[in-house]
Structure 1
Amino acid sequence: MTFRAAVAGASGYAGGEIIRLLLAHPEIEIGALTAGGNAGTRLGEHQPHLLPLADRILAETTVDALSGHDVVFLALPHGKSAEIASELGDECVVIDCGADYRLTDPDAWIRWYGGEHAGSWPYGLPELAAQRAAITAARRIAVPGCYPTVSTLTLAPAVAAGLVEPEVVVVAASGTSGAGKSLKPHLLGSEVMGSVSAYGVGGAHRHTPEITQNLSLLSESDVSVSFTPLLVPMPRGILATCSAPLRDGVSAEQIAETYAAAYQNEPFVHVLPSGQWPTTASVLGSNNVTIQAAVDEDARRLIAIGAVDNLTKGTGGAAVQCMNLALGLEETLGLPQTGVAP
């Protein structure tokens, strides 16, 4: 059976990545492609790598344009998905790649995003406890943020097993595509090349409450998260260095066994062999997350490192993975499990 999919926000990075993956999906026919300010232009003007659909004209993002599809992907700015989603019928699966439905706490939404909280949908991280079943039964799914995806998966086994204190530190370096496609002076090539910079310092990044929410679900107590993002001169990818104090008596062997067991049956999360560390290059273009963990014996801290392509498993790949589950398809269908090198 073939399903028909629409993509709203097709001219942006997230929308383009979803389309790239759908073009290789054997059970999907691509229907409406819509945009905001770029409506009326050719897709190829904005996504020249999507040659099979380069001559498609982008429609306005309206309920009429998106109706009549089996699945609708919303790759829209934060705060814009709710007004569209509320008008789409339950007969279609709606997958939001923005933040509108990720947070369960209305006060957290108001603090970090402002405006009215639209509610929360099943959270689109199948590897997180109990989420796979929830996604499979859902008609509405909220795709995680890219930083929360890699941070959560990198820390989850240790937090869930109670091997660390609920006080984690995440320092994650991201490529510039994580900031979206809008023109911003600080993202110009001349500003970024040859430079690494921190931003959202001091708990000011919007993904902090999402990481906190995810890890607190795995712990008997609330987890505190200190998150610092870094901007690095590359187009895509995230490398997250995560740490937390070890509980008394926890050994390196225990950490290794816990991580291996947690992800042994996950198709997209790979714990690397001892001595091998994640790199962003190794996951480029794939739906994989690679993880390695170690124990700093002197500091008595867990050091866990994870790598993800922020546009694939961090956004578009996660959206397609959730679509597969919601439509009753094989979870891995149409999703690349090999990276691109060099």
Structure 2
Amino acid sequence: MRVTVSVAIAGASGYAGGEIARLVLAHPDLSLGALTAHSNAGESVAAHQPHLAAHPAIVGRRFDATSAPALAGHDVVFLALPHGASGAVAAALAEVDPDVLVLDVGADHRLVDPQAWRDYYHSEHAGTWTYGMPELLHAGERTASAQRALLADTRRVAVPGCNVTAVTLALQPGVAAGLVASDDVVAVLAVGYSGAGKAPKTHLLASEAHGAAVPYGVGGTHRHNPEIVQNLQVAGAQQVRLSFTPVLVPMSRGILATVTAPVAEGTTAAQLRDAWATAYDDEPFVHLPPEGQQPTSASVVGANTVLVQVALDERAGRAVITCALDNLVKGTAGAAVQSLNLALGLPETAGLPLLGVAP
């Protein structure tokens, strides 16, 4: 007999919260419970998430105010809150419902180093939770197993940042295999505007964004920097020197990352491809396209799928890796549901779309 798992979402009026709700509604083992918001409390769910409006679980619903009592009593709670807001809610929830599975899609619990948190987020660290990237390689691994084991034995999950997911999945096979050097990593990412959140800001207006590509977080200031470094160190990097620059481009969702790093002397293109194939051939969501075929962000829209391609620039002596993913699915909500599946002992792929929408 199938047991339905009840799910609450804090911050359900935003992009991440709405995407989590979409995946929960399509999941065979989950049922949607409380939907909470802060400034939008009391307002219609359908008005803020019109793409979900026709579902019976949404019709007539209004957002509750975000509080521990409103979230308590569910099997699972997703926290889709602004950075810095999850820690207090999680602490209050632990007092009233300590056994609930909590997945934080904000940044509050991702970093291991409290000083790195203070340097980039300018507040006190809320603590470190199990990292919600099942495909994360640990030093010495050629395929991911250690991270999945951690996720299968936790009640607190910190879901990775979307840019972090793209750069990590792009580069980690080469780091773990000792084929690329991590002391000169350059990553430039084209990012859809939903990655900037739903808050109304002048630079996010259509009149400002249409036809424009705009870099942000330039010069090592983006908050995903320490998280990327942390992941590469988990994969075995001794020293990480990273230049990371995201660029907003006029698409609603998606990331296309181009990551380069020096290769070890004598490394061949065949060796690089073998390392990436070894890491990802058995992964349900990370795929290596045929040699020479480059990923596109359009190919993964709406899917939990990641496309990663690797090539050798012999003249530069660098590996060039391209990676495409949907920032709201595999970059956020899909990673959260994937981690939930592992934590609850469900099939890892349950409720997660493998196919993109085209054209």
TM alignment of 1:199-278, pairs within 5 A:
199-278=216-295
Determine the C-alpha separation between the residues in 1 that align with 2:298 and 2:60.
31
Amino acid at match of 2:154: A
Note if contact 1:237-1:280 (Cα within 8 Å) is conserved in structure 2.
Answer: yes
**CA drift at 1:131:** 1.3
2:62 equivalent to 1:46: no
2:113 to 105, 110, 114: 105
2:307 equivalent to 1:286: no
Note if contact 2:175-2:237 (Cα within 8 Å) is conserved in structure 1.
Answer: no
**Residue of structure 2 equivalent to 1:165:** 181
2:143 equivalent to 1:141: no
**CA drift at 1:338:** 0.3
**CA drift at 1:324:** 0.7
Determine the C-alpha separation between the residues in 1 that align with 2:89 and 2:238.
36
Determine the C-alpha separation between the residues in 2 that align with 1:8 and 1:201.
31
Determine the C-alpha separation between the residues in 1 that align with 2:185 and 2:147.
22
Determine the C-alpha separation between the residues in 2 that align with 1:55 and 1:23.
16
Secondary structure of 1:147's match?
Answer: helix
Determine the C-alpha separation between the residues in 2 that align with 1:42 and 1:137.
37
**CA drift at 1:64:** 0.5
TM alignment of 1:1-342, pairs within 5 A:
1-51=3-53, 52=55, 53-88=58-93, 89-129=97-137, 130-166=146-182, 167-342=184-359
Amino acid at match of 1:150: A
Amino acid at match of 1:264: D
**Cα deviation 1:152-208 (Å, max 9, x = unaligned):** 000010011110111211000100000100001001001010111111111110001
**CA drift at 1:300:** 0.6
Determine the C-alpha separation between the residues in 2 that align with 1:268 and 1:4.
25
**Cα deviation 1:49-73 (Å, max 9, x = unaligned):** 0021142110000000000000000
Determine the C-alpha separation between the residues in 2 that align with 1:148 and 1:37.
28
CA RMSD of aligned residues (A): 0.8
Identity of aligned residues (%): 58
Determine the C-alpha separation between the residues in 2 that align with 1:46 and 1:227.
33
Secondary structure of 1:282's match?
Answer: helix
Note if contact 1:285-1:340 (Cα within 8 Å) is conserved in structure 2.
Answer: yes
Note if contact 1:90-1:139 (Cα within 8 Å) is conserved in structure 2.
Answer: no
Which range moves more in the overlay, 33-42 or 217-226? 217-226
Amino acid at match of 1:65: A
Q: Structure 2, unaligned stretches of length 5 or more?
A: 138-145
**Cα deviation 1:194-237 (Å, max 9, x = unaligned):** 11111111111000110010001112512111100101000000
Amino acid at match of 1:37: S
How many positions carry a matched residue from both structures?
A: 342
Q: Which runs of 4+ in 1 moved over 4 A?
A: none
Note if contact 1:170-1:242 (Cα within 8 Å) is conserved in structure 2.
Answer: yes
Determine the C-alpha separation between the residues in 2 that align with 1:36 and 1:11.
9
Note if contact 1:39-1:60 (Cα within 8 Å) is conserved in structure 2.
Answer: yes
Which range moves more in the overlay, 96-105 or 81-90? 81-90
Amino acid at match of 1:186: H
Amino acid at match of 2:4: T
**CA drift at 1:86:** 1.0
